A and B are shown apart, each in its own frame.
Chain A
Amino acid sequence: MTDTSARRGPARRRRVPCAVLAAGVLAIGCGSDAKPDAHLDLHCPIGDLSAPAEIQIVHQDASSSVIATQPMAAVPLIAPPQGGWIVLLGVRAKNIDGCDTNLTTALVDACDGQILQVDRRPTQLDLGTDGWGQSSINMFGNLPVCPQLTAARDLDNVPYLITVSIEDDGGQKATASLTVVPTCPADAGSRCPCECDRDYVVGNACPAVPTPHGTCPS
């Protein structure tokens, strides 16, 4: 699904072709520990910055493969280092600055429109041969899904709305939304189904047989 909601930004700063900036990055990155003030103010336009920005949502699977997200797709829940379960969301985009860009992802319960969680971070778009930029694999949105104390429904294998927005420093932006199905890994020993149960209380024992709460509360 592609959604466009771009607006023209203010006067844009100097543009540096990606090949040039890549060389600059390599030059900074080589050798001993460089000082942060060596950083260039990088820009790498993807497409036509005078046209509306366009985006498509992508996600990562457990093996870090990037997948174009489809409506009602099973999006894998992944265990981050501190605990809990997340989904990793990114974008394919064009008509936007691929280097100076912020990515905002949100988990929404479509039953009542409640936003359960928001994540915002810098991202970088790598230019593909098709003229679209794609979120760099190490700069995906980290959207926490479970546990979710305020959830009115279970979170594993239950449809939820995700919204993904991207905005560059010049004001080009776009938003897309999809209903997807966050899905726990299949391994039997995982605590994921328990921690994604609506009634799970952090720190408590998991119920032997969780009661399903997947439908919208009446």
Chain B
Amino acid sequence: MTLRFSTLALAPIALSTLVQLGCGSSQPPFTPWVLDDLHGTGGFSLRVPEFEVPAGHESQNCYFVKVPDIAGGQDFWVDEVLSAINPGSHHVNVFRVKTIIALDPANGKPTTLGDYDATVVEGADDYKTNPCWGSANWADWPLVANSQQANIDELKTDWKLPTGVAIRFTPGEMLMVQTHYVNSEDQPTKFGAKVGINFYQRAQTDTPVEMGSLFATQQNIRICQSKPNAKFSGTCKFPGAVTIAAANGHFHKRGKQFDIFAWDGASTAHPDATSQFYESDNWNDPPMKTDLSVASPANAGIWWDCVYQWAPPSDFSCDDVNAKDPLKANDCCYTFGGITDVGEHCNVFLYYYPKVESDVFCL
């Protein structure tokens, strides 16, 4: 692996006062985020210990923590998820842990996430071997919540679920909080890596409609130097009639356009423009739509497109990209992979209700 060190300077992570982004810069000031700490019936708070990401490197950490018992041993409902994330974050995803293949909570280092004991498997330049980078290890772990916000103007993502809809949690169930930081010139981590998430327990006592999640991905993608423009599309169906409440798309540095459409489930023709409910042209700060109310009838689903344009890696080299290509085409082809500089993704993170049977995976 060849790393080219960028000019980014490492910043101390403990920032107690306002910090300007560069001398004379017109960029807005960085104000460290603050979240209320939730206790008792108010909900629960997770706080990832602060850490640094060296310039020109990426970090993907997998934190394991059990859902606390805040409802006398009973399942409880969350109707607001508020996350706060320092700039440089590529994503923060929260999953429910299911089948364990190689990424095992028991193999993590002890740590704490706020009030709660946890373990962590830390991934860095070892993306070829570290299980936290290996997505097959969490292929059947349902998504609970996520944020890709990495904007210095707005460090928080406040996801208030629709009225009467909530996420169910069971005390003792294992969650995995995955952080991915990219300290590159186009997604700098100037103020250290810092993540906090608040899960607010629903106050009402009636039983809400359960929120489900949909995770869909295009796995066999190739964006090659000799054929630099590529578009990949996929579909995913819901098990019944649902309402889509929130969505965001996820790709890496070659990503130019991410579109999601309602799909009738009956045609292989591309849905028309009136069916579109999500778009993003920003790989390093994609919007999360949280105000959706898209009705999807039975036997229907979504259609999504990922449009790419090839570009050379920033911190690694085409030799690294070629080494990762399973077909060894020697054409600097970006293929499926978590590290943004040498791999690509085409993933949909989507939330719908009512949850029917199970969360939805289209792999």
Instruction: Tell me whether B219 and A80 are in contact (CB under 8 A).
Output: yes
Q: A18 CA to B331 CA in the complex, in Å?
A: 18
**Contact A34 B225, beta carbon cutoff 8 Å:** yes
Q: Scan A45-78; emit 1 where CB is below 8 A from any B CB, else 0.
A: 0000000000000000000000000000000000
Interface residue total, chain B, C-beta cutoff 8 A: 59
- The CA of A29 and the CA of B224, in the complex, are separated in Å by 10
Instruction: Give the nearest-CB partner of A205 in chain B.
Output: B99
Closest to A34 in B: B225
- Tell me which residues from 233 to 266 in chain B have a Cβ below 8 Å from any Cβ of chain A: 233-239, 265-266
Nearest residue (CB) in B for A24 is B226
Asked whether A84 and B361 contact (CB < 8 A) given A33-B312, A150-B237, the answer is yes
- Return chain A residues, CB-CB under 8 Å to B358: 149, 201-204
Q: Are A142 and B140 in contact (CB under 8 A)?
A: no
Contact call B237/A116, Cβ cutoff below 8 A:
yes
B235 touches A117 (CB 8 A): yes
**A39, A138, A149, A165: the one within 8 Å of B228 (CB):** A39
**CB closest chain-B residue, reference A88:** B220
Which of A120-128, A180-188, A207-215 contacts the other chain?
A120-128
Q: Which residues of B contact A179 (CB under 8 A)?
A: none
- Chain B residues, CB < 8 A from A34: 225, 312
Question: Are A115 and B268 in touch, CB under 8 angstroms?
Answer: yes
Do A118 and B268 form a contact, CB below 8 Å, given A83-B140, A144-B363, A202-B140? Answer: yes
Q: Are B232 and A120 in contact (CB under 8 A)?
A: yes
User: B229, A115: Cβ atoms under 8 Å?
Assistant: no
User: Could you tell me if A80 and B220 are in contact, using CB atoms closer than 8 angstroms?
Assistant: yes
Contact, CB under 8 Å: A119 / B332: no
Q: In the bound complex, what is the Cα–Cα distance between A140 and B221 (angstroms)?
A: 10
Chain B residues contacting A102 (CB-CB under 8 Å) are 231
Q: Is the interface of B mostly helix, strand, loop or mixed?
A: loop
B135: Cβ under 8 A from any A Cβ: yes
Q: Does B329 contact A (CB under 8 A)?
A: yes
Q: In whole angstroms, what is the CA distance A173 to B218 when docked?
A: 24
Query: In chain A, what residue has the closest Cβ to B325?
Result: A138
Q: With the chains together, A104 CA to B228 CA distance in Å?
A: 20
Binds A, one of B48-56, B158-166, B303-311: B303-311
- Interface: A217 (CB within 8 A): no
- Chain B's closest residue to A195 (CB) is B140
Give Cα distance in the complex from A42 to B228, angstroms.
Answer: 11
Q: Which residues of A contact B287 (CB under 8 A)?
A: none
Q: By the criterion CB–CB under 8 Å, are B227 and A39 in contact?
A: yes
Q: Which residues of A contact B299 (CB under 8 A)?
A: 114, 150
Which residues of A are found within 8 Å of B265, using beta-carbon distances? 114-115
Question: Is the C-beta of A1 less than 8 angstroms from some C-beta in chain B?
Answer: no
B267 at the interface (CB under 8 A from A): yes
From A86, A150, A165, give the contact of B239 (CB < 8 A): A150
Q: Is the CB of A104 within 8 A of B217?
A: no
Given contacts A36-B311, A202-B140, contact A82 B217 (CB under 8 A): yes
Sampled A-B contacts (15; CB under 8 Å):
A28-B226, A39-B229, A80-B336, A82-B217, A83-B363, A84-B139, A84-B363, A102-B231, A116-B237, A119-B218, A119-B233, A120-B234, A144-B363, A150-B239, A203-B142
| 3 residue pairs, one from A and one from B, having the closest CB atoms | A83-B139, A33-B312, A84-B363
